[in-house]
Amino acid sequence: MNQATDHITPIGTVLITGASGGFGREFARRLEARGYALILHGRNAEKLQSLRESLAHPEWHRCFAVDIGDTAGVNSLLGKLVDDTICGLVNNAGFGLWGGFADREVEEQLSVIRTDLCTPIALTHALLPQLISQQGFVINVSSLAGEYPLPYMSSYAAAKAGLSYWSEALRIEMENRLRIVTLVPGPSPTGFRDISGMASGPGSFFRTQPRIVIECALRTLDNGGGYCVPGWRHRLLWLLQKSIPRFIGLQIMAGKLRGN
Ligand SMILES: NC(=O)c1ccc[n+]([C@@H]2O[C@H](COP(=O)([O-])OP(=O)(O)OC[C@H]3O[C@@H](n4cnc5c(N)ncnc54)[C@H](OP(=O)(O)O)[C@@H]3O)[C@@H](O)[C@H]2O)c1
């Protein structure tokens, strides 16, 4: 029996951005099982609807398909939430961009920064009063890409580095008022790699299932929030990032990500 059937009415409402993707779907299943009504956000309305119908209590949940890659999109999503009281926010929507800085359009690169960094900050700021009043939580889905400069994925690494720094600093500012998780995964089998345009080889040894990633995020939340690198493979990669001198590490990463 699904745990969600234990709840007759939802215990609160959680907004999950990027719910139509790999991590987002897993967050949706796990948070519904904890008794939350969900606002499932993404761009692909069909995927969002099919996720909603696959859940135990579709009648609890709503779907909003909006591009949140710019301020107008963020405001449009916030405009749909005026009648809601949100107790949890999962800033998960994001994408990577693979290729030399000179070879990719600047607009694509700025879009990574806006979607992966500016949007989580804007959504969190707008929803902060209600999140605090509900003694709620924020989960920011960052990346191990933010722990090391990445040649050939430079804008993505910059966006995730910014997201992790902001999220960790905010956690301390919000102590005793809001639980904040900075989730820092490495490679996982979702739509991410195809969308970034990256070849399938680099990082495959470190691939970790979304189930393990999301379980770790929720365990960290249950412990009051914090910084979380999920699963032993991602933790090994994190240790390598911390222990290999940067001038060597940068050459290794450039060799792996340069492509043909
Ligand atoms: N998988 C990995 O290896 C990995 C590792 C570290 C961190 N991450 C991070 O994990 C998060 C989730 O990604 P994923 O791995 O689950 O990849 P995914 O399957 O590609 O899902 C990405 C989600 O983000 C949404 N999204 C992207 N750009 C958007 C925009 N401009 N407006 C609205 N929604 C947008 C997508 O919506 P639509 O599909 O509906 O367009 C999709 O729901 C991302 O922040 C990513 O950077 C992933």
Residue 5: left if φ>0, alpha if ψ -120 to 50, beta else—which one? alpha
Q: Quick check: 40 pLDDT over 50? A: yes
Decide: 184 and 147 in contact? Cβ < 8 Å.
yes
Going by pLDDT thresholds of 50, 70 and 90, the confidence category of residue 217 is very high
Nearest CA-CA partner of 159 in 182, 143, 170: 143
Percent of the chain whose pLDDT exceeds 70: 96
From 79, 151, 180, 72, select the one nearest 118 (Cα to Cα). 72
What CA–CA distances, in Å, run from 240 to 141, 206, 236, 253, 258?
21, 12, 6, 12, 20
pLDDT of residue 47: 98
Per-residue pLDDT of 49-73, as tens digits, reads 999 999 999 999 999 999 999 999 9
157-193, pLDDT tens digit by residue? 999 999 999 999 999 999 999 999 999 999 999 998 8
Q: Mark whether 148 is an active-site residue.
A: no
Q: From ligand 1's centre to the CA of 241, what distance in Å? A: 23
pLDDT at 199: 73
Q: How confident is the model at residue 260 (pLDDT cuts 50, 70, 90)?
A: low
Question: How is residue 114 written in tokens?
Answer: 């806006």
Query: According to the model, what pLDDT value does residue 87 have?
Result: 97
Q: How much is the pLDDT for 184?
A: 98
Nearest to 156 by CA among 128, 197, 127, 206: 197
**Per-residue pLDDT, 6:** 65
- Assess whether the C-beta atom of 111 lies below 6 angstroms from ligand 1: no
Mean pLDDT, the chain, as a whole number?
A: 94
* Structure confidence at residue 1 (pLDDT): 42
- State residue 193's pLDDT score: 85
DSSP state, residue 134 = T
Please report how many Cα atoms fall inside a 13 Å half-sphere around the Cα of residue 191, on the Cβ side: 15
- Predicted confidence at residue 119, as pLDDT, reads 98
- Ligand 1 centroid distance, CA of 88 (Å): 18
Query: Does the beta carbon of 209 sit less than 6 angstroms from any atom of ligand 1?
Result: no
